[in-house]
Amino acid sequence: MNTLAVVLTCIDIVVCIAMIILVMSQEGNDQGMGVVGGSGNSNNFYEKSKGRTMDEKLKKITLFTAVLFAVLTVTLFLVLARGF
């Protein structure tokens, strides 16, 4: 394996571990059966400031990490398959 493949593999593993930690640290979106019955209150403080909560920031960081992981994995495959 050449140097580029080793570096990409190490970065890919670190990004993978970070993505696992980010996914596990998020809370679930289960609102139970209250949404079906109409008792879901969407007029609360958390709904109004949805983009500024910690959970939304974690979702954005997780999305960025997942895209980075996918790009790194495809790049690593191309490097190993073509022997750059």
Please check whether residue 32 lies inside any domain of the structure.
Answer: no
Confidence of residue 28 (pLDDT cuts 50, 70, 90): confident
For 26, other C-beta atoms within 10 Å of its C-beta total: 13
Q: What is the DSSP letter of 2?
A: -
The total number of structural domains in the chain stands at 1
Tokens of 9: 């593999």
pLDDT tens per residue across span 33-81: 555 555 555 556 656 566 678 888 889 999 999 999 999 999 999 999 8
Does residue 33 form part of some domain? no
pTM: 0.69
Residue 39 CB coordination number (10 Å): 10
Per the structure block, which two tokens stand in for 69?
């992981």
pLDDT of residue 53: 82
Residue 11 lies in a domain: yes
Per-residue pLDDT for 31 more than 70?
no
In this predicted structure, what is the pLDDT of residue 63?
94
Q: Which residue has the tokens 């983009």?
A: 51
CB contact at 8 A, 84 and 2: yes
Encoded tokens for 62: 């997780």
Classify residue 47: in a domain, yes or no: no
Tell me the residue range of the domain where 69 lies. 1-25+52-84
